[in-house]
Every structure is written in C-alpha cells, then in structure tokens.
Amino acid sequence: MRIAIFASGGGSNFQAIADACRAGEIPASVVLCVASSAGAGVCDRAQTMNIPVFVVKGISDPETEELQAVLARHQVDFIALAGFMRKIPGSLVRAFENRMLNIHPALLPAFGGTGMYGSRVHEAVIAEGVSSSGATVHIVDEEYDTGPIVLQESITVLGTDTPASLAMRVLEVEHRLYPKAIDLFARKLIQIRGREVIIQPKS
C-alpha cells in the first residue's frame, strides 16, 4: 500500500506512521507528504526522511486536478489526513472512497464538526466537564468528522487538565491508534458495509 499523508502542522502523526512503515510494523510505505504550507513542520520531517513534498496552494478545481495528478504520479492508493487544515474536495473523497482516513482528537461523534479542530476540541471537552476524551480514526466522507468510525481509544479527563495537558495526552493516543488503523487497511482486515466497519481477526 502506497500512502500519502496530508498535514498542516508539525507532523508528529506523519512521523509515527512513517516510522511504523519503515520498521515493518505496517506493510506499506509513505510515498508522499501533502502540506498546506511550505513552512509547516511536517515538510522538514518529510525531507529528512527523503519523502517527496507537495504543497497544496488551494482547493479550486484546477488545483485539485493538479493534486490528483501528483497522487497518480506517485501511485498513491491510500490517504491519511493528519491535522490537515483544509476541507478535502468531494471529487478527491470520491476518488479515494473508503481509502482515506482522518484522526480526530476526541471521541466522535462528540466534539466534532465544523470549527472543532486543534485546541478548540480540548477547550470544549474541558468546558463541558465530561469525564473522558480520546482519539478517533474514521473514514473520510464529504462532511467534517462524520465518516464511519474505524477505531477509538479513550482516556480519563483529569480535574487538573488544561487544554494543553489534555492535548498532549490525547496526542500520545493518536500516535498509537493511527498506525494501528492504517495497518488494518494495509493487511486487508477491514470490511465496510454502509456505515459499518468490520474488523477481521488477524490470522
């Protein structure tokens, strides 16, 4: 499986996935980094690992066509969104139907949707006073955070948590959970029936 990772920030999930692939933990390879800015930290990580970087200038039709051409040139057959701060065009979602994942720093369907990203999620979790949060890996559809859920892992929200401390602990979960979810797809252990995601046992 040939993976493109889309990211906008520092790229710690990019690193976790790429490291797992290179260690043989996932039978796949990260062949492309798609960044929303040339100044994003993920670009430095990709260049250090000799992984090509493509910077998306926008999401208009011509730019989306250019992106799809780049994905085709690198023979990408799977996409992982890792903190990518742009809405994915519907044409690309449809082209990679059930082959595009996202990770969200909360237990969807709670604390998801438009405007719920980054520190805003953790601020909302603490403000709501809920006892648990965590991370969710889900299939990408044409709306924000509404695709079928593949994996979730929860942690306890502590009375002493700040948005920053909660974010740090959730990120640790993400680094475990995202490679695990991608591995299931790489090993063809996932069946999707409508909105139901069925995980087959490893042989």
pLDDT at residue 61 tops 70: no
What is residue 54's predicted lDDT score, i.e. its pLDDT? 96
pLDDT at residue 203 tops 80: no
* 153-182 average pLDDT score: 97
pLDDT band at 202 (very low <50, low <70, confident <90, very high): confident
pLDDT band at 63 (very low <50, low <70, confident <90, very high): confident
Placement of tokens 């023979």 in the chain: 75
Catalytic one of 74, 104, 138, 175 = 104
- The Cα 41–Cα 163 span in angstroms is 22
Placement of tokens 């924000």 in the chain: 144
**What number does CATH give the domain 2-193?**
3.40.50.170
- The Cα 66–Cα 49 span in angstroms is 24
- The Cα 5–Cα 68 span in angstroms is 14
Give the number of other CB atoms < 10 A from CB of residue 66. 15
Q: Could you tell me the pTM of the whole model?
A: 0.95
- The Cα 1–Cα 84 span in angstroms is 21
- Mapped onto helix, strand or coil, the DSSP state of residue 131 is coil
Q: Is 74 a catalytic residue?
A: no
* Strand ranges (E), 120-168: 132-139, 149-156
pLDDT at residue 131 tops 90: yes
Task: Please name the helix (run of DSSP H) or strand (run of DSSP E) that holds residue 48, with its range, or none.
Answer: helix 41-48
For the chain, give the mean pLDDT: 95
- The Cα 18–Cα 7 span in angstroms is 13
